[in-house]
Structure 1
Amino acid sequence: MSRSSVRLLACSVLIGLAAAGGVQAQTPAAASATSLPDFTGIVQQNAAAVVHVEAKYNGRRQPRAMPGVPGGDDQAEILRRFFGMPAMPSPEEQKHTSLGSGFIISGDGYILTNNHVVDHADEVTVRLQDRRTLTAKVVGTDPQYDIALLKVSTKGTLPAVRIGESQSLKPGQWVLAIGSPFGFDYTVTQGIVSAVGRNLGGGDQPYTSFIQTDVPINRGNSGGPLFNLQGQVVGVNSQIYSNTGGYLGVAFSIPIDVAMNAVEQIKAKGFVTRGQLGVMVQGVSDDMVKVYKLDRGVGAAVTQVSPDSGAEKAGIQAGDIILKYNGETIDQPGDLPPLVGLTKPGTRVPVEVLRNGKHETLQVTVGTAPRDPDAVAPDGSAPVQTSGSQALGLTVGPISADDRKQMGLRAGEGVQVTDISGEAAAQAGLRAGDVILRVDQHAVGSVADFRAATKDVKAGSTVLLLVRRGEQSSFIGITVPEGK
């Protein structure tokens, strides 16, 4: 599957397409109404917990480019005028607006949606079923899982969905989506689970085993809930497979188990950590089947082992074929990253490999994967050790051991940028994930060092930062705006 074929579902245009989910072929007599589920109860119980999400950009950043539908902006504007969609932005406004869906996961105002709906937005609002519009704070995001956690404040307790579990889902089960495709709020569509454990390839969220469905969803459904027949959320609608920008019968949802794991980590520490095995793998080819005298081409063939990784220390070698990870069977390479990613770093797990025709089980201590540099961390509301200079308009945090190793940094050298909130820092070219080594003439190796070096920064002054990005270091000057 090519990356271009999988479409994220944030919406900024009109026109919709819906198709009913399929059932097994039956005779007219057998296919009676009594044999089909009635979804009205699920909708009545949960619609109030589904929200419309709108992310706005002030012009310095643009919402992620979304594929268009036939007709483009002209057709969208015609439909807007004739069918009256006052909630939809005009074509010009669409250039600076991203629309999606979300759902309330707790009565105190926490909302779950996709990262690509609110990615680097300057303002996020949510609209409830009772037509109230509330400003939402982005508590934290994780681009790797495409998850964003929002928070709104309001009087009283908000209606919340019931969280189910996705591990027991099976192909053929009925599922239901509620969302805002093309801005049409509270649209309900249904279908069945088409497949589970679907991996979209290394470039498209390798740590996620998607739920594939035939539920009709389109751009604007992003971040909306996928329900089972018990009225529980089992997935977060995320992507479609399409070469037109519209629904073609194949949709993908993030398992709710994965999403809630990310939510709890964001709440607890402000970011998401994932396990890392320390290997590169590929599929078991026909040639390997012949040479290794295998019965079939299953498993993940190890092509490279990272130095000092948990895999190397446990004795995993290039040429090994990983057959099981922590008791879970590995049929293909894409099965491995999601399992490793959900493993808490430091956990010791059994890994079964095939080596020289013999099965061996090795005990591997899972490491920590590098943090996503595009993740948005909280601004101090969660218990995460970050600090920043309001005048400079950036926030920094400590660097993980793995990031230090990749950048060739010594212990006690540098702090990592976790968020860019100010215009001056953005215009200077700083990015989340950059490492600051010096502030003017002062070396910084901790959050405390950075705080001390920036505490006397005044409006109108220029601060010179030595910044490491990847393997390159350069000086970047930030002039603090007047009035800050």
Structure 2
Amino acid sequence: MKKIIFLFSVFVFGLGISANAAWYEGRPNSFAPLVKKVKAAVVNISTTKKVKRPANRFPRSPFGEMDPFEEFRKFFENQVPREEEQHSLGTGFIINKDGDILTNNHVVGEADEILVKLFDGRKFKASVVGRDERSDMAVIKIKSKEDLPFATLGNSDLMEPGDWVVAVGNPFGFEQTVTVGVVSAKGRVIQDSRSPFAKFIQTDASINPGNSGGPLFNAGGEVIGINTMIYGMGTGIGFAIPINLAKEAVPQLISKGSVTRGWLGVQIQQMTPELAESYGLKQEQGALIGGVLPGSPADQSGLKRGDIVLEYDGKKVEEPFDLSAYVASSAVGKTIKLKVLRQGKEQTIEAKVGKRPEEGAIREEKPQTPKEQATSDALGLSVRDITPEDAKKLNLPSTHTGVIVDQVQPGSSAEDHDVREGDLLLEINGVGINSAEDYVREAKKLSKGSLARLLIGRGSMTIYVAFRI
């Protein structure tokens, strides 16, 4: 028996050695051949921006107006503002033989002058062909008498954590710097990033200021990302925009100088464990529709508040970000199919994608309501009926019915889940609340440990909040 166990242990140990040996033999001995293949397409970008500064100010004389030089001081201070130049560095890569170069918008977006230096030392003045702030991408162009070397764009969807990657760029002005690492993670959503529709590739290949806009290559020498940001200095955490997102935007940037995005007109929110439970879901999945804008494509298609979007044109919606990204990348006018969960039943709805309005066209306002003393209940809320004066302040129809949250009890579950004073309370567990009487009736049905799902109106938005009492 001992002999069998020993032989089995040797066999397993041998498998481990075999797997490690296979990995060891498959690793690249050097990335030099890859770098030689791709570096000619990588360019250094230096920009100049002219800014106006206030004229120099001089200290006032202790003698005030009696000082004979006071008029001279005023004269020089009132001169026109002085003009200064700001310089910055970045990276880009040529994407076709005609000299179109892909980079980050934050590298060239505000520049008055753009200078591109090629690998062989040649320098060209560049012009902006198109740029898009919301994806942080831009295309600039240089003119050359001969065809230029260009990078091959790969498929970022094929990359997996652990795959080798190579970054080539201009960090701190050190030209053609090569760093190597792996894909640390995929699908990173970075809040408040310059590219809100991107799920970033995370890498430990060293990225520093000046690398922005540069390529992230796979082991085959194809660009799979645009190096864009870092998480602190020296952390080994960098992020790149997936090249598949760029491949969707670049044709529009070249042809018309901007990117047109799709739009449905829904307000969506993240599923929480409590919300998922209230809808009978076993896991937090999909995008919950908190509101549908009147007259929007979503409204015209029949989508309703409370629907949970599970799929978009056959692609699974794991979280709200997925839906936003899918819609934004869809062609305006395209008819798509949405799989939604409505009142516990799945159904398919067709919608025609519209054009996303300009930023600021739809704004959110925070309502202001007076506070009055009242007694909280099981929900930890005190509410009152909406008056005509309230409706006017909140830009609601004078006939609008409902209740306003007057107070939120400190330490209550409602406070913990961000229910606020001034919110409109529209539903409790799917039952419409049109008056304080309705509210009292529904609140009495709840007790300690009950699951409550509230529909809240806040500014121009409606959102769902769920919690246990």
TM class, shorter-length: 0.5 to 0.7
CA deviation vs aligned residue, 1:445-481 (integer Å, no higher than 9, x gap): xxxxxxxxxxxxxxxxxxxxxxxxxxxxxxxxxxxxx
Q: TM-score of the superposition, structure 2-length normalised? A: 0.64
User: Does 1:284 pair with 2:271?
Assistant: yes
Q: Is the 8 A contact 2:201 2:225 kept in 1?
A: yes
Find the counterpart in structure 1 of residue 342 from structure 2: 355
How many pairs does the alignment contain? 318
- The CA RMSD measured in Å over matched residues stands at 2.5
Find the counterpart in structure 1 of residue 237 from structure 2: 250
Q: Which amino acid aligns with 1:52?
A: N
- The 5 A counterparts of 1:362-381 are 362-371=349-358
Q: Which ranges of structure 1 fall in alignment gaps of 5 or more residues? A: 1-24, 62-92, 374-402, 407-484
Q: Secondary structure at the match of 2:50?
A: coil
Find the counterpart in structure 2 of residue 307 from structure 1: 294
Find the counterpart in structure 2 of residue 57 from structure 1: 49
Find the counterpart in structure 1 of residue 254 from structure 2: 267
**Residue from 110, 126, 133 that aligns with 1:143:** 133
Shift of residue 95, structure 1, vs aligned partner: 7.1
CA deviation vs aligned residue, 1:50-105 (integer Å, no higher than 9, x gap): 001011111249xxxxxxxxxxxxxxxxxxxxxxxxxxxxxxx9971111100011
Find the counterpart in structure 1 of residue 422 from structure 2: none
**Which piece of structure 1 moves more, 38-47 or 163-172?**
163-172
CA deviation vs aligned residue, 1:215-235 (integer Å, no higher than 9, x gap): 211111100001111111111
For 2:267 and 2:193, the matched residues in 1 are separated by 14
Q: Which amino acid aligns with 2:241?
A: I
For 1:200 and 1:279, the matched residues in 2 are separated by 22
Find the counterpart in structure 2 of residue 342 from structure 1: 329
**Residue from 149, 156, 159 that aligns with 2:146:** 156
Q: Is the 8 A contact 1:176 1:190 kept in 2?
A: yes
For 2:337 and 2:169, the matched residues in 1 are separated by 41
Q: Secondary structure at the match of 2:36?
A: helix
Q: Is the 8 A contact 1:226 1:236 kept in 2?
A: yes
For 2:255 and 2:131, the matched residues in 1 are separated by 13
Q: Which has the higher contact order (CA 8 A, sep 6+)?
A: 1
CA deviation vs aligned residue, 1:236-293 (integer Å, no higher than 9, x gap): 1111122xxx141221111112112221002222211011121111111122122112
For 2:101 and 2:182, the matched residues in 1 are separated by 25
**Residue from 232, 240, 261 that aligns with 2:230:** 240
**Residue from 215, 227, 230 that aligns with 2:205:** 215
Find the counterpart in structure 1 of residue 218 from structure 2: 228
Find the counterpart in structure 2 of residue 114 from structure 1: 104
Highest CA radius of gyration, 1 or 2?
2
**Residue from 27, 40, 57 that aligns with 1:48:** 40
Q: Which amino acid aligns with 1:36?
A: R
For 1:115 and 1:42, the matched residues in 2 are separated by 27
Q: Is the 8 A contact 2:50 2:85 kept in 1?
A: no
For 1:317 and 1:32, the matched residues in 2 are separated by 52
**Which piece of structure 1 moves more, 197-206 or 248-257?**
197-206
Find the counterpart in structure 1 of residue 305 from structure 2: 318
**Residue from 124, 129, 134 that aligns with 2:119:** 129
For 1:50 and 1:235, the matched residues in 2 are separated by 13
Change (3 A) 1:285 1:94: farther
- The 5 A counterparts of 1:194-213 are 194-201=184-191, 204-213=194-203
For 1:47 and 1:120, the matched residues in 2 are separated by 27
Shift of residue 372, structure 1, vs aligned partner: 6.0
Q: TM-score of the superposition, structure 1-length normalised? A: 0.62
For 1:255 and 1:147, the matched residues in 2 are separated by 11
Q: Is the 8 A contact 2:42 2:91 kept in 1?
A: yes
For 1:369 and 1:258, the matched residues in 2 are separated by 17
Q: Which amino acid aligns with 1:56?
A: T
